[in-house]
Structure 1
Amino acid sequence: MERSTYYANVNRRQQETPTVAHSYRSGRPVPGLSYTQDGVPISDEQICEWLMEFLAGEGASYGYRKLTVLLRRRHRLQINKKKVYRLCKQMDVLRPQRKIKIKYPKRLANNRVITGSNQLWETDIKYGWLHGEQRFFFLMSIIDVFDRAIIAYHFGLTCEARHLVQITQEALMKRQRFDSSEMPVIRSDNGPQFISHRFEEACETFNLIHERIPPKTPNKNAHIESFHSILEAECYRRHEFETYSQAYEIVSQFIRDYNCVRIHGSIYDLSPYEYMDAVKLGTVTPKFIKV
């Protein structure tokens, strides 16, 4: 008989006689025993007694996985953790699921109105390709949402949480924030570098507020995403990087030109550094930014 035909008949009989439906099972029946490595059958009742002895005599609050190890070692049983879990559940001796304590709770990105520099920074990672060496490189940068300047960046063949901490510290030093009472908010996505304990500890040390955007909402990180789009169109696509040193030189020069030379339509057709100077001198009206 085909398996599908067998289960179709079982299901039909269950529907026709609901009062005895419990007598039919879908799937293989529970054997009620296990075997030792020598082939000796051991009943489930005996296994349950051994489990209770382990729990009462060992003094350790073992879970079903470690109880499975004990049954295999001491009684040479051929048994898997799924059956031990089922037996422990029947005896109501399963340990409760441990609660994961979040040391650094997630702070979602809030709607803000940015009225000046050093109020909100955004950070993200951009990949690049070295054709000559057939491997990727990484650019992790921090942008100021108000003046659009790239404050600090990391360029390398690896990109880890320690690099993020380094450029964050560098950005705070460049903007002279360590002695300031008003610290910027730094916003990122949920990449492994940004959710790491190392970066969260650094934010606490630097007295920074770290916001993370919800998944699938790159618009919440729009300014750094815009910079990466410009970098892709005006730098990566115009060059075929053969070596790491060549890519480093070209990308670093592009970032310098981006900050000092390239004009932005959203800030009076000025470069980021020119816009910062103009705001300080009062020659332009600062543009408030809603994010």
Structure 2
Amino acid sequence: MVDYTNYWSVRAETPAKQIIRWIGIAQSKYFDWKKRYGKANEHNGAVPRDFWLEDWEKRAILDFHQTNPLEGYRRLAFMMLDADIVAVSPSSVYRVLRDAGAMDRFNGKKSKKGTGFKQPVRPHDHWHLDISYLNICGTFFFMCSVLDGCSRSIIHWEIREKMEETDVEIILQRARENHPDAKPRIITDNGPKFISRDFKEFIRIAGMTHGKTSPYYPQSNGKIERYHRTIKGDCIRESQIKTVDDARRIVKQYVQHYNEVRLHSAIGYVTPLTKLAGEEKAVFDSRDRKLEAARETRRLRRQQQAA
């Protein structure tokens, strides 16, 4: 290709860049070929290097490690070097032990931080509880919400002037009164209201269990965090709220819309109330039937038009 381009560049008195542009070759590719012009083609496979360890050296490292299992790889490297067993660097010893799986004991148990909870399969398996702030005409109020982790339904909520441990217990008890047969696992963060001895005792007496999220990782309680962000962005900040009574009235309307009207993307675009009642399969089947009927109608209409 280099000879071809040079030949026609001279004959046509045209720059080589124009020739390769007409041919459809990238300039970078052409100049790579030109740089390698006249050189022998070589394979690009792995070429053995002088510093690569031989098999007997790898076996010697593993045998020495089994003899001294409590020593770190750096100390092993210098011990073998002093004993004239094998002359290798600490990094080479590390790679050999790592590839052989002998470094697992140094890794320790992996942290579960950020992995979240095992997702609930039924309504009322998990209730997420969290507190958020509301700024109403320069005064801060507390909004506490209880959200079902499976259906994303808001079980109960309240706006209060203060939010102490007793207030949280009252809100949670009222949520239980709406569903007296539920024995959920309560998911909270590590706030002082949720780690107190009295709150733990309340959870135990009520027959529920308590799970706390990872410290400094609010994403692990992301369902309720996302709901609070949604209600603030779509409801509270879009409304003219002058008093706390206005806030309670507007939030009540939005929660009803959120539970009964708004389609939730995380549960297959059905309403949280539908998911809570276990009726989502009937909705999915109805949608499938409607789509199939519409496809059949289009097919028959095309056949009639083609006839």
Larger RCO (alpha carbons 8 Å, 6+ apart) = 1
Partner of 1:121, secondary structure, is strand
Supply the RMSD in Å over aligned alpha carbons.
2.2
1:161–1:194 CA contact under 8 A, matched in 2: yes
Shift of 1:248: 1.4
CA drift at 1:110: 6.7
Deviations 1:177-220 (A, max 9, x none): 26xxxx21101011122122221111011121111112111121
What SS does the aligned partner of 1:204 have?
Answer: helix
- Cα distance in structure 2, aligned partners of 1:205 and 1:225: 27
- Which residues of 2 match residues 270-289 of structure 1 at below 5 A? 270-279=270-279, 283-284=283-284
Q: Does 1:265 align with 2:265?
A: yes
**Alignment partner, residue 112 of structure 1:** 118
The residue aligned with 1:186 is: 186
Q: Residue in 2 aligned with 1:122?
A: 128
Q: Which position in structure 1 is the counterpart of 2:85?
A: none
Q: Report the Cα offset of residue 176 of structure 1.
A: 2.5
Q: How far is 1:138 from its partner? A: 0.9
Change (3 A) 1:111 1:268: closer
Contact 1:109 1:187 (C-alpha < 8 Å) held by counterparts: no
Q: 1:166 aligns with which of 146, 150, 170?
A: 170
Measure, in 1, the Cα distance between the counterparts of 2:229 and 2:171. Answer: 21
Asked if 1:154 corresponds to 2:173, the answer is no
Q: Does 1:176 align with 2:159?
A: no
Q: Is the 8 A contact 2:274 2:280 kept in 1?
A: no
Alignment of 1:202 with 2:202, yes or no, is yes
Counterpart residue identity of residue 160, structure 2: G
- Identity, in percent, stands at 28
Name the CA distance, whole Å, in 2 between partners of 1:257 and 1:251.
10
Q: What is the TM-score of this pair, normalised by structure 1?
A: 0.55
Q: How many residues align?
A: 172
SS in 1 for 2:152: coil
**Structure 1 residue matching 2:237: 3-state secondary structure:** helix
**What per-residue deviation string (whole Å, max 9, x for no partner) do you get for residues 115-165 of structure 1?**
11011111101111111xx31111101100100011011211111111211
Moved over 4 A (4+): 280-285
Letter in 2 for 1:146: C
d(CA) in 1 for partners of 2:181, 2:277: 18
Q: Which protein has the larger Cα radius of gyration, Structure 1 or Structure 2?
A: 2
State the SS of the aligned residue for 2:144. Answer: strand
What amino acid is aligned across from residue 209 of structure 1 in structure 2? T
Q: Answer whether contact 1:143 1:224 (CA < 8 A) is retained.
A: yes
Q: Which amino acid aligns with 1:145?
A: G
Structure with greater helix percent: 2
